[in-house]
């Protein structure tokens, strides 16, 4: 029944702490010997997922299989996995040798063999001759090496790494990345690596699992994830990108920034609203305006070492980020070209806010725990369950929380060339999506108002969840 | 000038605080029966104390024995109970944790006499015959909160992943407790033990109310009875001096330990 190639199978894992949903129906399969990275912003549930895999905490729902066997309810000390913790978690009362030998001693491995093993793993992490050192006298990088040595000394089937490099400085992080990759190749065991650092994920992994808000956003190879992000969250989180509203006119033809472009995507249908992603290095910037697809004016130009990073304003008023080896001075008129293969078209997750509501009377409807004034169309009466639709651009955000009908904070934002697309998390835990040209920062507290004319009431679509 | 007065103030305070004990110390080196009469330097009281050449030596020695034994048992048991309780409290969340910590602090602030009387009433109510056992139980009761209080900070300072790391490496919860948690909590447990030991040594009120009528004496109740019988036996003066020096040494040891630990933590 189960596939022998998969060393780890997580099936429909859900986990909540109190009211807060941390993991929502997460399923992952990991092949033997893979280097898998779980990537996401802090609070996305990646660490919780790793902890469930290690056995620290129980799943609310779902099943954990390791090597084909059910481990859902097995305590941590009986699982064939070992963890490298973010803050090392070495035993301060033991020296380096005793730390590494800890697991082997518990297994009653003969002393001579423990000796051999400790020396072997210390060599592997380039810490030979450190056996007798007090762990607290070691630097952060050295402690992390010992922590890795301690975990692999137990010869786990799977090594779990919880942001192991997060506490190290940049230079050391880069060196350790290379060493980890080398270690993975030598050991041949499966690595599950948790990080919020997208560059680290792209460098190290065979497979990246992008998570946000307890859900898997995309699973793929680093090149897949970078070149073909499946939604605007992934596009925004991995690397720099221009994310724009677009319209799929027909197969292989998409419109955005006010122009039509040839692309290679098919099967979206005709005149369908989509999100378009163009990486800044994929926009060609030329002096010869004749050969260009559209025009723009350079607004700023910053030297970034290898390339220049420029912001331009297109002829239709959109702002784009461009990376190029050549510098163009501000106010210069330039031509831009985007090749069909460099345009990534994505389905929109939603095109307007939809809330579950209930009609109060002909002038009021209740949704998001509040009663709003509006015009209820004919044919609805008190108590009818309805869908309430509000356009992204019709939600008003105000500085003073108290002045808003609803209160919330800016949870996530994406710049879309000529406006910001914000995700607002209300104090009651609901999401409202807002398009605005005002500048807000993540975490800003906002009041939310919706004008009566902008509230549209339609019959409840039962298929909608 | 300001500094001079500040210095004077602190020295004055110290003199007032330590004058009585220094007074006893000085007069432990003279033979006079009445406290306050200096009849020349002598170490006879010290030698009397150790050779047993004094009236009521037997009961004094058994009182000292009782005191030490009770303190040892009470400190050991409360160190165990307090450590387990601290681990439990540390792993609690939210309001329950706050409530238990608060409840733990009350017995320490409660006047000894109230603890003593209420324990006395409890034992009477439960028809427990009073004696050695009740005194030991009473001492464990008021010593345990001090151990909890000295172990809890060690738990808070500890990297929460360390216990998990032990489990992760294949230790059963009990092995993780024995091989990782207890060694790491040891400094707190030792401070707690010493604190409990001195609290037990020091106690008068609770012992007085829970010792019953079998004639069990600890040092404090012995001295109390002795003083009421008409004057303090002179040999108690060197005893008190020695005890003070003993406690002083113990306190210095604790302080040095704490300073060392703090330094180690800074590194």
CB contact under 8 A, A76 and B167: yes
Q: What is the mean pLDDT of chain B?
A: 88
Facing residue for A106 by CB, picked from B171, B183, B267: B171
pLDDT band at B54 (very low <50, low <70, confident <90, very high): low
Contacts of A85 in chain B (CB under 8 A): 161, 164-165
Question: B107-133 pLDDT, tens per residue?
Answer: 888 898 999 999 999 999 998 888 888
Facing residue for A87 by CB, picked from B161, B175, B264: B161
Contacts of B93 in chain A (CB under 8 A): none
Question: How close A76 gets to chain B, by Cα (Å)?
Answer: 6
pLDDT band at B168 (very low <50, low <70, confident <90, very high): very high
Chosen from B93, B168, B266 to mutate, greatest number of chain A CBs within 10 A: B168
Percentage above 70 pLDDT, chain B: 97
Sign of CA dihedral A176, A182, A187, A192: positive
Residue A95's nearest CA partner among A62, A131, A65 is A131
Question: How close B57 gets to chain A, by Cα (Å)?
Answer: 47
For residue B265, count other CB atoms closer than 10 A to its CB: 9
**Token pair 């047993």 is at which residue?**
B52
CB-based contact B235:B45 (threshold 8 Å): yes
Residue B49's nearest CA partner among B224, B223, B234, B248 is B234
Question: B222-237 pLDDT, tens per residue?
Answer: 888 888 877 778 888 8
Q: Rg of chain A's alpha carbons, rounded to an integer?
A: 27
pLDDT band at B267 (very low <50, low <70, confident <90, very high): low
Q: What is the pTM of this model?
A: 0.78
CB contact under 8 A, B168 and A82: yes
Question: How close B143 gets to chain A, by Cα (Å)?
Answer: 28
Residue A104, Cβ density class (10 Å: 0-12 exposed, 13-18 middle, ≥19 buried): buried
pLDDT score, position B164: 92
* Ranges of chain A with pLDDT below 70: 1-4, 462-465
3-state secondary structure of A1: coil
Per-residue pLDDT for B52 more than 80? Answer: no
ipTM: 0.79
**DSSP tag of B34:** S
**Higher per-residue confidence, A329 vs B267:** A329
pLDDT score, position B228: 84
What chain A residue is nearest to B265 in terms of C-alpha separation?
Answer: A136
Distance of CA B179 to the CA centre of its chain: 28
Residue B136's nearest CA partner among B210, B65, B60, B195 is B210
Domains and CATH numbers, chain B: 55-233 (1.10.3720.10)
Question: B188-242 pLDDT, tens per residue?
Answer: 999 899 899 989 988 999 999 988 877 788 888 888 888 887 777 888 888 889 8
Residue A268's nearest CA partner among A167, A346, A177 is A346
CB contact under 8 A, B170 and A77: yes
Contacts of A87 in chain B (CB under 8 A): 159, 161
Residue A149's nearest CA partner among A181, A105, A180, A194 is A180
Contacts of B91 in chain A (CB under 8 A): none
- Token duo for residue A360: 């109060």
What chain B residue is nearest to A56 in terms of C-alpha separation?
Answer: B164
pLDDT score, position A152: 92
Facing residue for B159 by CB, picked from A76, A82, A89: A89
CB contact under 8 A, A106 and B175: yes
- Token duo for residue A444: 């800003």
pLDDT score, position B225: 85
Question: How close A148 gets to chain B, by Cα (Å)?
Answer: 12
pLDDT score, position B128: 85
């Amino acid at each position: 029944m189960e596939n022998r190639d998969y060393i780890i199978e997580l099936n429909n894992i859900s986990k909540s702490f109190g009211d807060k949903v941390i993991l929502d129906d997460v399923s992952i399969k990991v092949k033997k010997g893979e280097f898998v990275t779980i990537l996401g912003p802090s609070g996305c549930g990646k660490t919780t997922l790793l902890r469930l895999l290690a056995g620290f905490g129980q799943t609310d729902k779902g099943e954990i299989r390791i090597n084909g066997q059910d481990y859902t309810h097995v305590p941590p000390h009986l699982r064939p996995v070992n963890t490298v913790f973010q803050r090392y978690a070495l035993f301060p009362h033991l020296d380096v040798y005793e730390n590494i030998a800890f697991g082997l001693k518990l297994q009653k491995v003969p002393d001579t063999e423990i000796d051999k093993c400790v020396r072997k793993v210390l060599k592997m992490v380039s810490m030979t001759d450190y056996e007798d050192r007090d762990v607290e006298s070691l630097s952060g990088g050295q402690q992390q090496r010992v922590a890795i040595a301690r975990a692999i000394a137990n010869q786990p089937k799977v090594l779990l790494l919880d942001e192991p490099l997060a506490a190290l400085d940049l230079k050391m992080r880069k060196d350790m990345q290379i060493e980890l990759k080398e270690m993975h190749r030598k050991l041949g065991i499966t690595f599950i690596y948790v990080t919020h650092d997208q560059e680290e994920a792209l460098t190290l992994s065979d497979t990246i699992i992008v998570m946000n808000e307890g859900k898997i956003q995309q699973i793929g190879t680093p090149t897949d994830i970078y070149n073909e992000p499946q939604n605007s969250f992934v596009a925004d989180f991995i690397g720099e990108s221009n994310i724009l509203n677009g319209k799929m006119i027909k197969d292989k033809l998409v419109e955005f920034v006010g122009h039509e472009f040839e692309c290679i995507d098919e099967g979206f249908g005709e005149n369908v609203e989509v999100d378009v992603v163009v990486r800044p290095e994929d926009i060609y910037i030329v002096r010869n305006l004749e050969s260009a697809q559209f025009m723009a004016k350079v607004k700023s130009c910053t030297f970034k070492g290898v390339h220049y990073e420029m912001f331009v304003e297109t002829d239709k008023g959109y702002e784009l980020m461009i990376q190029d080896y050549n510098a163009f001075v501000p106010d210069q008129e330039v031509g831009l070209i985007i090749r069909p293969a460099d345009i990534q078209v994505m389905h929109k997750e939603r095109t307007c806010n939809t809330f579950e509501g209930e009609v109060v009377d002909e002038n009021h409807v209740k949704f998001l725990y509040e009663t709003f004034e509006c015009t209820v169309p004919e044919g609805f009466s008190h108590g009818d369950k309805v869908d309430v639709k509000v356009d992204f651009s019709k939600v008003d955000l105000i500085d003073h929380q108290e002045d808003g009908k609803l209160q919330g904070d800016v949870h996530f934002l994406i710049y879309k060339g000529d406006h910001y697309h914000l995700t607002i998390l209300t104090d009651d835990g609901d999401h409202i999506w807002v398009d605005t040209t005002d500048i807000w920062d993540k975490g800003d507290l906002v009041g939310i108002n919706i004008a009566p004319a902008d509230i549209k009431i339609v019959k409840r679509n039962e298929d909608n969840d | 000038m300001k500094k001079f007065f500040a210095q004077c103030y602190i020295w004055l305070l110290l003199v007032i605080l330590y004058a009585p004990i220094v007074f006893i110390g000085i007069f432990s080196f003279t033979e006079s029966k009445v406290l306050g009469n200096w009849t020349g330097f002598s170490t006879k009281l010290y030698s009397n104390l150790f050779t047993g050449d004094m009236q009521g030596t037997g009961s004094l020695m058994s009182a000292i024995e009782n005191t030490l034994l009770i303190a040892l048992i009470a400190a050991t048991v409360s160190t165990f109970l307090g450590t387990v309780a601290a681990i439990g409290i540390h792993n609690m969340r939210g309001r329950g944790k706050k409530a238990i910590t608060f409840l733990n602090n009350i017995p320490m602030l409660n006047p000894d006499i109230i603890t003593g009387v209420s324990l006395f009433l409890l034992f009477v109510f439960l028809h427990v015959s009073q004696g050695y056992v009740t005194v030991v139980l009473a001492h464990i009761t008021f010593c345990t909160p001090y151990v909890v209080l000295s172990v809890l900070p060690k738990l808070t300072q500890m990297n929460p992943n360390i216990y998990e790391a032990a489990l992760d490496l294949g230790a059963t919860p009990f092995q993780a407790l024995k091989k990782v948690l207890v060694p790491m909590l040891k400094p707190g447990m030792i401070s707690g033990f010493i604190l409990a030991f001195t609290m037990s040594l020091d106690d008068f009120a609770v012992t007085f109310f829970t010792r019953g009528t079998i004639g069990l004496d600890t040092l404090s109740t012995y001295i109390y009875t002795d003083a009421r019988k008409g004057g303090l036996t002179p040999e108690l003066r060197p005893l008190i001096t020695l005890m003070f020096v003993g406690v002083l040494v113990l306190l210095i040891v604790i302080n040095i330990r704490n300073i060392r630990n703090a330094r180690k933590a800074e590194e």
